Structure 1
Amino acid sequence: MKVMKKKYLMICSALLAFPAMAQDTYENARLLGNDLNGTARYVGMGGAMEALGADLSTIRTNPAGIGLFRKSGVNFSLGVVSQANANAKLDHSATKLSFDQIGFYRTMRTGQTSYVNFAFNFSKGTNFNYFLAAADQLNNASLGKQAYLKGMRGSLSNGGYSIGTGSGSNVDTYYGYIDNSSNNIARNYGQLDYLYWNTRLVDKNNPSLFGYDAANGYDFNRSQRGYIGNYDFNISGNVNDRVYLGLTLGLRTVNYKGYSEYVENLVNASNTAIGTATITDERKVKGTGFDLSAGVIFRPVEESPFRIGLSINSPSWYDLKTENYTTIQNDGQNQGKWEHGKSSEVYNYKLFTPWTFGASLGHTVGNFLALGASVSYADYSTVDNRYIDGEYVDYYGYTTETSASDKVMNNHAKRTLNGVATVKVGMECKVLPQIALRAGYNYVTPAYKKDAFKDGALNSEGSYYSSAADYTNWKGTNRMTLGVGYIGKNFSADLAYQYSATDGEFYPFTNGLAAHDASTNTTLVNEAKAVQVSNQRHQVLFTLGYRF
């Protein structure tokens, strides 16, 4: 066994210092959309209550639904969420308790049939808990080869960078510059590029020689947890019990933490094993945001309970901070200049999500059957990735940051993301005066285009601060729900079950990145096949309610 050198490479934030920047498309896509979550009644009906209303979970999807309450009350929801296909390799628990919702509504009569209502509701909009595992063979490909090919391209204008050393105390450190005549580091020279060029790609005996090692396979595992918290404040009411109006101010909190391990089994030109290269990456994202939602529900025929609902949700305007701690472990046979490396960065950025538009239908038959259907649409390709470009002090002495759109990454989002529609249908049937059975289904169309890929060669701050090369093109999501409820004079108790499933195609790095090798007049290509992955989740949700 080889004796390890007592050398350690550390990427210093000061060397890579830039103003606070934006994240890349795949990282930010986690913050788009919402899970089906809220009260057990809402979940049991598949969320198809935007026109039926009278449930706290419609406070954002159609704020006018709060206007249908005729009594004041409170709700409290707890649940259990379990990933059906989880792998505990990274100490990730497949089953977790979840505090999902709490809220109240206050009604005030303003006329014979008119009300003004106020409400507050907390809910988990997105639950990040998930474990992803993927492994596959590689053929003359590796993550190190990706960094090497970007260096071969020679300049930012060619989708790569020019490799050169620093100056002074950094004379032995390699950086990727815009071109061979520039002292400016290219924006597509990410943290993984830095680690590879200063650990594996430089010959330890002759620093003027560069090269990469291919791999014959890899093993990838990621464990992530956290949630987006929704804090919604609503005012709503109705006109003659026929037209219902609502407005909601929403405050959002983001709490995300992910940890991944990526191991490549390296081989030499004779396909003989020469060790492994391991990348570990810990990423945290925290921040706050706010948005506005407005809605209307109306009964077109006065004598009929049939209802039509319309809603609009503004973008969520997020202020976010992300930080990472990334390491490389070079466990090969005398490969590369260093055997360890680490990188850490902390920065702030902004993200503006797309507008969302909704339409819904609702109908009741007597007091024993309720039917609902709704559709919402958001064009994910219009997400606005933004970087902070300055700040100013206002009249009162408060400092405010200014930002600008990351045009390169936004163009990448247009090429990567789709417009996404969510279709919901649901029903509730009272089999006894106090017992109701519920069922629902909804489908979320794919967020990613079929040919989408994570482009680490982009001239963008999102590429510059990236510390992960993998990406998954998730397909559509199917959700099926069942529920049962007890409705007493003042108390209510509801139980719901939800099964959701999403399939995807995982890639360990940008598939098909290529560069021309002038010395051999050949084109080198780095390719990896898609690995089929899925996210299958079970949820059991229980809600207690009290009306007064």
Structure 2
Amino acid sequence: MTTRLFLLSAFLLSADIAFGQTGDIYAGEAFRFSEIQQNGTARFRGLGGNQTALGGDASSLFGNPAGLAFYNRSEVSISPTVNLNNTQSTYLGTTTPNNGTKFSIGQLGLIFAGGGKDGGRWKRSTFGVGYQQNINYFNQFTFQGRNNRSSLIDPIILDANSRNVTGAQIDAEYDPDANQATDLLAAAYQQYLIDGTPFTDAQGEPNSRPPYSRFDPLNPRDQRNTFTSSGAQSQWTFGYAGNLDDKLYLGVNIGLSSVRYTSDNVLTETVVNGTVLDNYSLRDQLSVRGNGFNLSVGAIYKLTPDIQIGANVATPTFMSLRETYSQSVSAVAFDRTLLRNSTVDVLPNDFNYSVTSPFRASGGATVFLGKNKVGFLTASAEYVGYGGLGAGTSDNSNAQANSDFKNDVRTSVQNTYQNVINFRAGAEFRAGLLRIRGGAAYLPDPYLRQLDNIDRSKLLVSGGLGVRNDRFFADVSGTYNTFKSAYTPYTLPNTANYGSAQIDNKRTTVTLSVGTFF
């Protein structure tokens, strides 16, 4: 894990906060795999993601399972989704746009509706199984600018000087046959990114030692960073619900989650009027795979035929994850004989750890409109306990190190994140077979402190249309999400010597749900 700890303290794959310790890194990982914003079918997405006090939709499998008890016939449905990502990144006074599109399957559902005993109070029971994509990790952005104060090499120089190692010692960490270094410093040294002070060692051999520096130290650097990520946190859920007297609806589910995440970050510098190196780049790649489980229980109660209230409680998701982290250093020299290889790889690093996501609880209400129920208004509030995020490992060499890891993450969570209450509201109006929907969700900033005065709260605005008859339904929704984030390519002791990219994110999600009753 050592390699990744050094690099992530400089190159922030979370794209949100500056990490400087082990705990900060994996607190950020726990948050990454826990920030659920909106999911479900097109119908519920069009309503702002409200799921607490509504039923009769496959989204109830993953939201409030009590909603399954509203079914009086079985159903199968599928929801393909298109994610459109637009970013405007500002770095060192330069603004760079980036756009991308990603297709995925947002939801699959199979609901089996059953009946109760004739004349009994238990009117019906329902079982469902479904797949849902809780978080889509598709993201990409680019930023660039001219840096007159520092270089991406500077953190590596600081590391070399603090270790007080000679060039020969650094060379010993490089395998020329495999063209692979054991750490970033050794890879950078092979590519002449850093240059030491010459001396002759005790054996009479030429060597180098601290202080280390970089070539053309006074020349500006044109920096360019590209980041892409993909994957999803998805879940297969099995739910059961029952209906008592057509007034009280109770449900429970168990979810089996899966995490698949990959990211690729390339930071490149071109030396303005350079004499030794034309350009060089650092590439960081992260792959995380894992599985987990959670439980949820919920209830919906009809206060009157036109008003119903709901509540849902979900346990944290307990996930077991394995990550693989790799790096490489590339360089282009004016003297083509200077470099043995254009790229040197760093030995990949594997690490196993566990994550505990936040506890969640929600409450809401739905009011039906008109004698013929020509529509409804619905709203909900969701508590998310980000302060309860956690991570642990048994990969370290001794029990004390594993305990320190867990405590470091816990301290970082308490210093970084806060519990929030998300608010959602939506409405649906009906005209024959047609359904018209609209909604909004406000997700407060989960960070205790702002980075570069950026408020990272999110506002999601959604709308949709639907048609349904006795055998078939089709719904479409669109959700527009705007928020700000920041990305710091590297850090230095003096905050005036490095900058952060401020990123304006605009994301649109279009979902189509189709299904049939049987």
Q: Is the 8 A contact 2:351 2:395 kept in 1?
A: no
Q: Is the 8 A contact 2:134 2:232 kept in 1?
A: yes
The Cα of 1:192 is off from its aligned counterpart by 4.1
Match in the other structure for 2:310? 309
The Cα of 1:220 is off from its aligned counterpart by 0.4
Match in the other structure for 1:450? 449
Q: Deviations over 1:205-228 (max 9, x none)?
A: 542133233553411001111111
**Which of 343, 353, 358 pairs up with 1:354?**
358
Cα distance change, pair 195–423 in 1 and its aligned pair in 2 (3 A): farther
Q: Which moved more, 1:253-262 or 1:60-69?
A: 60-69
Q: Which moved more, 1:251-260 or 1:532-541?
A: 532-541
Q: Does 1:381 align with 2:384?
A: no
Cα distance change, pair 474–166 in 1 and its aligned pair in 2 (3 A): farther
**C-alpha distance in 1, partners of 2:50/2:282?**
44
The amino acid that maps onto 2:345 is K
The Cα of 1:49 is off from its aligned counterpart by 3.0
Q: Does 1:203 align with 2:196?
A: yes
Match in the other structure for 1:438? 437
Match in the other structure for 2:10? none
- Listed as ranges, the matches of 1:178-217 within 5 Å are 191-192=183-184, 195-196=187-188, 199=191, 200-203=193-196, 206-213=207-214, 216-217=221-222
Q: Deviations over 1:464-501 (max 9, x none)?
A: xxxxxxxx977122211111111201211111122122
Q: Deviations over 1:151-182 (max 9, x none)?
A: 55x5xxxxxxx344699xx674369xxxxxxx
The amino acid that maps onto 2:143 is A
**C-alpha distance in 1, partners of 2:349/2:332?**
25
The Cα of 1:318 is off from its aligned counterpart by 0.9
The Cα of 1:534 is off from its aligned counterpart by 2.6
Secondary structure at 2:153 match in 1? helix
Q: Is the 8 A contact 1:244 1:297 kept in 2?
A: yes
**C-alpha distance in 2, partners of 1:149/1:31?**
32
Q: Is the 8 A contact 1:202 1:337 kept in 2?
A: no
Match in the other structure for 2:459? 478
Q: Deviations over 1:413-450 (max 9, x none)?
A: 322223233211111100x2211100111121223343
**C-alpha distance in 2, partners of 1:419/1:218?**
37
**C-alpha distance in 2, partners of 1:132/1:248?**
37
Q: Is the 8 A contact 1:86 1:94 kept in 2?
A: no
Cα distance change, pair 361–35 in 1 and its aligned pair in 2 (3 A): same
**C-alpha distance in 2, partners of 1:390/1:505?**
32
Q: Deviations over 1:229-254 (max 9, x none)?
A: 21111111122222221111011111
The amino acid that maps onto 2:381 is V
Match in the other structure for 2:14? none
**Which of 109, 113, 122 pairs up with 1:107?**
113
Q: Please, what TM-score do these two structures have when normalized by structure 2?
A: 0.79
The Cα of 1:408 is off from its aligned counterpart by 1.7
Match in the other structure for 1:119? 128
Q: Is the 8 A contact 1:372 1:425 kept in 2?
A: yes
Secondary structure at 2:393 match in 1? strand
**C-alpha distance in 1, partners of 2:242/2:362?**
19
The Cα of 1:118 is off from its aligned counterpart by 0.9
Match in the other structure for 2:424? 424
The amino acid that maps onto 2:26 is D
Match in the other structure for 2:9? none
The Cα of 1:103 is off from its aligned counterpart by 0.8
Cα distance change, pair 352–368 in 1 and its aligned pair in 2 (3 A): same
Q: Which moved more, 1:73-82 or 1:109-118?
A: 109-118
Match in the other structure for 1:496? 477
The amino acid that maps onto 1:408 is D
How much is the aligned-residue C-alpha RMSD, in angstroms? Answer: 3.5
The Cα of 1:193 is off from its aligned counterpart by 5.1
Secondary structure at 2:62 match in 1? helix
Cα distance change, pair 418–197 in 1 and its aligned pair in 2 (3 A): farther
The Cα of 1:96 is off from its aligned counterpart by 2.9
Match in the other structure for 2:12? none
**C-alpha distance in 1, partners of 2:110/2:457?**
33
Q: Is the 8 A contact 2:88 2:503 kept in 1?
A: no
The Cα of 1:120 is off from its aligned counterpart by 0.9
Match in the other structure for 1:410? 410
Q: Please, what TM-score do these two structures have when normalized by structure 1?
A: 0.75
**C-alpha distance in 2, partners of 1:142/1:47?**
44
Q: Is the 8 A contact 1:101 1:123 kept in 2?
A: yes
**Percent identical residues:** 22
**C-alpha distance in 2, partners of 1:151/1:62?**
54
Cα distance change, pair 25–12 in 1 and its aligned pair in 2 (3 A): closer
Match in the other structure for 2:137? 128
Q: Deviations over 1:53-94 (max 9, x none)?
A: 22111322222222222222111111222223499xxxx982
**C-alpha distance in 2, partners of 1:354/1:336?**
49
Q: Is the 8 A contact 1:63 1:236 kept in 2?
A: yes
Structure 1 residues not aligned, in runs of 5+: 1-10, 14-20, 155-161, 176-189, 392-401, 454-471, 515-523
**C-alpha distance in 2, partners of 1:307/1:538?**
31
Cα distance change, pair 436–243 in 1 and its aligned pair in 2 (3 A): same
**C-alpha distance in 2, partners of 1:390/1:280?**
26
The Cα of 1:198 is off from its aligned counterpart by 6.2
The Cα of 1:52 is off from its aligned counterpart by 1.5
The amino acid that maps onto 1:279 is L
Cα distance change, pair 249–163 in 1 and its aligned pair in 2 (3 A): farther
Match in the other structure for 1:545? 515
The Cα of 1:406 is off from its aligned counterpart by 2.5
**C-alpha distance in 1, partners of 2:186/2:56?**
55
